[in-house]
Amino acid sequence: MSVPRYARDRRTVEHYRRRVAAELARRFDVLAWFGLQTGQWWAMVDGRCFVQAVDPERLGEQIMSARRPRS
């Protein structure tokens, strides 16, 4: 889910990021966003912890990892 190479227009990129964040929120039931200052994808998992990743796919992995029971 990376930004298409042809997307040079700021509004197109912002629209893409909002759409991806909404999809992450729907799929994983989290609050998700792209951090403009950090250049990273973020999510609040189960209202208790933050996770971050360089792209949406890895953020999904981080979300699932944060939900696994710790031994």
34 and 27 Cβ atoms separated by less than 8 Å: no
Quick one: pLDDT at residue 46?
93
Task: Judge whether residue 63 has pLDDT over 80.
Answer: yes
pLDDT, tens digit (0-9, with 9 covering 90-100), for 10-58: 888 899 999 999 999 999 999 999 999 999 999 999 999 999 999 999 9
Task: Judge whether residue 62 has pLDDT over 80.
Answer: yes
Cα-flanking dihedrals φ and ψ of residue 58, to 5°?
A: -70, -30
Quick one: pLDDT at residue 59?
98
53 and 41 Cβ atoms separated by less than 8 Å: yes
Q: What is the CA radius of gyration of the chain?
A: 13
Cα-flanking dihedrals φ and ψ of residue 27, to 5°?
A: -70, -40
What global pTM score does this model have?
0.81
Quick one: pLDDT at residue 43?
98
